[in-house]
Amino acid sequence: MTLNTRSWLDRYAAELGAPPVANEDVEALLALAAVAAHASERTAAPVACYLAARSGVSIAEALDVARRLVDELAEPGGPHDAD
């Protein structure tokens, strides 16, 4: 049986004993994954989401932090210029 995203996430949350994830959190996590993948390598996406979950901050705040980091790295003289 193949489940759609929402159904799979709901089943997975239930198996973990966690509450279902809200739709807006799913969208924010996908945006966070996209920011991480485009700012680095694709493998950064799932790990960034894991770090966000472990950090204790809201998903929206974690997304803001990721976007701010990307902006800082893009600035002239930013950390990426040291490479």
Q: Which two tokens stand for residue 52?
A: 């966000």
Over residues 3-50, the pLDDT tens digits come to 999 999 999 999 999 999 999 999 999 999 999 999 999 999 999 999
- Burial letters 24-34, b for 16+ CB under 10 A, else e: eeeebbeebbe
Q: Could you tell me if 10 and 18 are in contact, meaning their C-beta atoms sit under 8 angstroms apart?
A: no
Over residues 55-68, the pLDDT tens digits come to 999 999 999 999 99
Q: Delimit the domains of the chain by residue range.
A: 22-82
pTM beyond 0.85:
no
